[in-house]
């Protein structure tokens, strides 16, 4: 008997050691995986180490792929790989091995992926449909010696639905000898001209290319040198068609991220509504439009090939101003929840909305709904013993002059003030918890200009995870995404009426969001 027990224990020991050798994540930190302080419970974050932009968002054979900028050796940015995760419902994610590794042509920067159904690339074999990834190669060594020819475009393909990848032997498919910033190809199939179209950024503008086979590309046109926000280098473009809600009108939307000069400092994502004729994108938009007004939604792009033609967006929930210093331990950064984009028209103005995909509702453990009336210039505290760190809060108000504050017993708080006179929402995270890891993380208020379509009533939805808040106003008409690092959970919601009349709060509901990692 003793011998048997010894044998079993020895076998277990050997097995665990083997696993620890092959799986870099099974270290002494394993016990804490997805339980660390600030670890998001219903947002995607890598098991360990550094992550930035979402890449290669594509749906194929029942699976949503999420590739991402990944550095597997540290919790700060480094030689970029494409990390990989898959999901059947856009809510629960399964981690996959790293998809693309750096090689002699460079690090693997951001890009996209497509399903080459007609095998235009010739990469398909034995009837297997290739997934093709189109990405930027970056040569750090050349940059260090002052060279500008650091960024070129490469492709790779997979015949097993993204599990393994083969790089094209004749990379790069678009060379570059002059431009310092020349990256982040987003490719899609353009039905009307039966060509692949690529949107690529080149410093202060977007370039559009076309190809029949994904290997040979022809420059078509450029856009943006004199339009839009230029507070930083243009990054991560995305171009797609959307129907204007409630009409048959179709417009094209171009999304562009800028690393600095966002609406509240640092990184931000702007969009243009216009037309694309297969060659040229034009927009008569004269104002800047921001997809998200908060500081922490960057480099977001949308899925190719979604089953129901939905336009689904995921952004990186951070900001280059402080991304590498946020106070997390074994991993760094998370993605926004997947959001559906829709286009709306008011008068002559087009507006892009973004709102959580309905699949996320499966996580919401609904609570009872309450309504309340706030006397003129009064406030109400609602205490939630279980905490707000993993919740959804929804309600409506009868006017635009109120404040809500989330706070904990340590006095850490985040305030969101609606000001009907200026039509602004002011978010205050200056005392929200840990903030000294970087001076510009929480030194100013954040502002969001509300689209004013004459409506007084406001519809609020907030998603709160361990270290983030996503605020959706009026069905995603205006949105703010911010990171927060409270040292203990917020437990109180304070609602404050800032007018001399009654404020009706309707349909107030605080629900718990189930963890996507523990079910």
List contacts with ligand FRU (CB under 6 A): 52-53, 69, 80, 109-110, 136, 183-184, 235-236, 299
Which residue spans within 233-267 are E strands per DSSP? 234-243, 250-258
CB 221 within 8 A of CB 281: yes
Supply the minimum distance, in Å, between the C-beta of residue 55 and ligand FRU: 8
Of 184 and 296, which has the nearer Cβ to ligand FRU? Answer: 184
Whichever of 136 and 391 has its CB closer to ligand FRU, that residue is: 136
Minimum CB distance to ligand FRU, residue 127 (Å): 34
Please, what is the minimum distance in Å from the beta carbon of residue 113 to ligand FRU? Answer: 14
CB of 124 to ligand FRU, least distance (A): 28
Q: Is residue 322 within 8 Å of residue 441, measured between CB atoms?
A: yes
292 is catalytic: no
Q: Which is nearer to ligand FRU, 134 or 404 (CB)?
A: 134
SS3 content of the chain, % helix, strand, coil (to 5): 10, 45, 45
SS3 356: strand
* Residue 500: other Cβ atoms inside 10 A: 8
Q: How far is the CB of 138 from ligand FRU (least distance, A)?
A: 7
Buried-state track 368-386, b at ≥16 Cβ within 10 A, e below 16: eeeeeebeeeeebebebee
Closest distance to ligand FRU from the beta carbon of 448 (Å): 22
The tokens of 446 are what? 């954040």
In three-state secondary structure terms, 224 is coil
Q: Can you give the length of the chain in residues?
A: 519
How far apart CA 389 and CA 320 sit, in angstroms, is 24
If the CB atoms of residues 102 and 433 are measured against ligand FRU, the closer one turns out to be 102
Identify the helix (H) or strand (E) that includes residue 2: helix 2-22
How deeply is 407 buried, as exposed, middle or buried, from its count of CB atoms within 10 A (0-12, 13-18, 19+)? buried
Given the DSSP bridges, would you call strands 268-276 and 298-302 parallel, antiparallel or unpaired? Answer: unpaired
**DSSP letters for 304-344:** BS-TT---EEEEES--TTTGGG-S-SSEE--BPPPEEEEEE
Closer residue to ligand FRU (CB): 181 or 412:
181
Which CB, 70 or 123, lies closer to ligand FRU? 70
| Helix (H) or strand (E) run with residue 149 in it | none
Q: Which is nearer to ligand FRU, 256 or 427 (CB)?
A: 256
388 vs 50, 323, 362, 429, 515, CA distance in Å?
Answer: 26, 24, 18, 16, 13
- β partners of residue 405: 415, 494
Q: Which residue carries 């929402």 as its tokens?
A: 425
Measured from the CB of residue 269, what is the shortest distance to ligand FRU in angstroms? 11
Six-digit token pair at 391?
């919740």
Q: Please, which residue, 254 or 473, has the CB nearer to ligand FRU?
A: 254
Question: Which of 52, 432 has the CB closer to ligand FRU?
Answer: 52
Under 8 Å CB-to-CB from 134, ≥6 apart: which residues? 111, 112, 113, 114, 153, 154, 155, 173, 185, 187, 198, 214
Residue 395 C-beta: closest distance to ligand FRU, Å: 34
**Which of 53, 116, 181, 184 is flagged as catalytic?**
53
Residue 296 exposure: Cα atoms within 13 Å on the Cβ side: 24
Name the minimum Å distance from CB 109 to ligand FRU: 3
For the chain, report the end-to-end CA distance as a whole number of angstroms.
Answer: 37
Residues labelled catalytic: 53
């Amino acid at each position: 008997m003793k011998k048997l027990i010894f044998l079993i224990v020895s076998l277990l020991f050997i097995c665990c050691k083997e696993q620890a050798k092959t799986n870099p994540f099974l270290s002494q930190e394993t016990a804490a995986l997805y339980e660390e302080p600030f670890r998001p419970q219903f947002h995607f974050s890598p098991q360990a180490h550094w992550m930035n932009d979402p890449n290669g968002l594509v749906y194929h054979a029942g699976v949503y792929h999420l590739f991402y900028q990944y550095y597997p050796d540290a919790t700060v940015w480094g030689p970029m790989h494409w990390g990989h995760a898959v999901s059947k419902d856009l809510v629960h994610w399964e981690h996959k091995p790293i998809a693309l590794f750096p090689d002699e042509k460079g690090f693997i920067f951001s890009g996209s992926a497509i399903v080459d159904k007609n095998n235009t690339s010739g990469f398909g074999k034995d009837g297997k449909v290739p997934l093709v990834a189109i990405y930027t190669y970056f040569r750090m060594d050349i940059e260090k010696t002052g060279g500008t020819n650091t960024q070129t475009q490469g492709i790779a393909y997979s015949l097993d639905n993204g599990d393994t990848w083969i790089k094209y032997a004749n990379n790069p498919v678009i060379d570059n000898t002059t431009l310092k910033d020349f990256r982040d190809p987003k490719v899609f199939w353009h039905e009307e001209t039966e060509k692949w179209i690529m949107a690529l950024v080149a410093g202060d503008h977007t370039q559009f290319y076309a190809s029949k086979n994904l290997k040979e590309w022809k420059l078509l046109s450029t856009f943006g040198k004199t339009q839009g926000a230029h507070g930083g280098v243009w990054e991560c473009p995305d171009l797609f068609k959307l129907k204007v809600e409630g009409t048959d009108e179709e417009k094209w939307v171009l999304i562009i991220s800028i690393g600095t000069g966002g609406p509240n400092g640092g990184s931000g994502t702007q969009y243009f509504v216009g037309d694309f004729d297969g060659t040229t994108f034009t927009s008569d938009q004269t104002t800047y439009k921001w997809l998200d007004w908060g500081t922490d939604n960057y480099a977001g792009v949308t899925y190719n090939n979604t089953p129901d033609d939905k336009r689904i967006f995921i952004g990186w929930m951070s900001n280059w101003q402080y991304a590498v210093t946020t106070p997390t331990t074994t991993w760094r950064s998370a993605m926004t929840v997947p959001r559906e984009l829709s286009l709306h028209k008011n008068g002559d103005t087009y507006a892009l909305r973004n709102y959580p995909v309905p699949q996320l509702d499966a996580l919401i453990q609904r609570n009872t709904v309450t309504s309340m009336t706030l006397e003129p210039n009064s406030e109400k505290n609602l205490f939630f013993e279980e905490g707000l760190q993993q919740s959804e809060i929804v309600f409506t108000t009868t006017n635009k002059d109120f404040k809500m504050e989330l706070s904990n017993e340590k006095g850490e708080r985040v305030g969101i003030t609606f000001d009907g006179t200026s039509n602004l929402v002011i978010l205050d995270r200056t005392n929200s918890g840990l903030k000294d890891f970087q001076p510009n993380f929480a030194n100013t208020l954040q502002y969001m200009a509300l689209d004013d379509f004459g409506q007084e009533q406001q519809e609020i939805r907030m998603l709160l995870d361990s270290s983030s808040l996503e605020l959706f106003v009026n069905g995603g008409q205006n949105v703010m995404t911010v990171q927060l690092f409270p040292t203990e959970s917020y437990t109180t919601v304070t609602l404050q009426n800032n007018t001399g009349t009654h404020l009706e709060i309707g349909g107030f509901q605080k629900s718990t969001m189930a963890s996507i990692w523990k079910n």
